[in-house]
Amino acid sequence: MVEYTEKIREIAAQLLKQCQVDMVIGFRRGSQVMMNEPCMVKRADAVDSLVWDSHCGINLANYITGRTEKIGIVAKGCDSRNIVTHIVENKIKRDQLVIIGVPCTGMIDKRKVAAMAGAEVLAVGEDGDKITIQTPQGEMFVDKIDVMQQNCSLCVHRNPVIHDFMVAEPVAEQTDIDRYADIRHIEEMSDSDRWNFFEDLLSPCIRCYACRNACPLCYCPTCFVDEAKPQWVDKGQDAIDIRSFHFLRAYHCAGRCTDCGACERACPVGINMRLLTRKLEKDCFAQWQWEAGMSESTRPALDVYRPDDPQDFIR
């Protein structure tokens, strides 16, 4: 995907020169390896800071909420679905956006790379499906599929759903993927096993709210956990409060989450909170055949009433 960089710069420069947009949101190299950071380019002569590779996992739709200027935005499959969600939820207007679509082949999980390297990672290079990891001990070669973020290996919408430009031809979508094997595994556990499973899963949480901040869906002016009047959830480290935060946050993302993986990626302690959002995603699909962010014209599943809505849970 590195070869997209030139094309992204070219389109961004053209948009800024012709004043079609006030800024372009994309990625630049971060201060650390494998940590590209979002950047807003406002001048055509600054487009050279834009890059694209397999470390652009952050969801850029997070940066367009409520903005009023004309924006060019670089969007991979999941970003584009979150942009659609933003449009549907009136957080931005479609005509404010120029979407530079990027066909994505998956993002690299920095934790998997670090675990494989077993030493300090100095640099990570890529050539198609091959990844080169440089450590003080030398070079390692791995297949990209082995170090990909889990949500990317399970992704079935790699190509942007809306775009004004495409930096390359669409890539082949992954088919025959069992997206919810791990969720089914949890569902099959007994009640107390499930309780303990989530107790273990969430025990390292330090409530830094990085997952919430990285999430493009979490744009409430005051989050329910920050509110003090009324205080919905206590602010301490009590396991029940941590659990309330994670489950409620997941619920707020029900029918909206695109499984972009930004939450898990942002988590400093590596909690896979996607096990919560994906359960809701799975249920939304099973009950209403709903996938978030696929169309600007369809109202979200939780926003419409249909006479045939499932209601077996009501007795």
Q: Which stretch binds other proteins (CB under 8 A): 93-101, 127-135, 194-202, 217-225?
A: 194-202
If one asks whether residue 180 binds other proteins (CB under 8 A), the answer comes out as: no
Which of 229, 299, 306, 315 is the binder for other proteins (CB under 8 A)? Answer: 315
Instruction: Compute the distance between CA of residue 158 and CA of residue 210 in angstroms, rounded to an integer.
Output: 25
Instruction: Compute the distance between CA of residue 200 and CA of residue 195 in angstroms, rounded to an integer.
Output: 9
Which of 146, 173, 234, 309 is the binder for other proteins (CB under 8 A)? Answer: 234
If one asks whether residue 139 binds other proteins (CB under 8 A), the answer comes out as: no
Closest CA to 265 of 216, 310, 192: 216
Omega of the bond prior to 230 within 30 degrees of 0, cis?
Answer: yes
CB of 280 to other proteins, least distance (A): 9
Structure tokens at 258: 């695109």
The CA-based angle 59-151-80, given to 5 degrees, is 35
CB of 94 to other proteins, least distance (A): 35
CB of 48 to other proteins, least distance (A): 48
Per-position x/- string for 275-304, each x denoting binding to other proteins as judged by CB under 8 A, each - no binding: -x--x-------------------------
Q: Could you count the other beta carbons within 10 Å of the beta carbon of residue 116?
A: 15
Q: Could you count the other beta carbons within 10 Å of the beta carbon of residue 147?
A: 24
Which of 35, 208, 240, 286 is the binder for other proteins (CB under 8 A)? Answer: 240
Question: Token match 């997206």: residue?
Answer: 179
Sites of contact with other proteins (CB under 8 A) = 186-187, 191-198, 234, 238, 240-241, 243, 247, 276, 279, 313-315
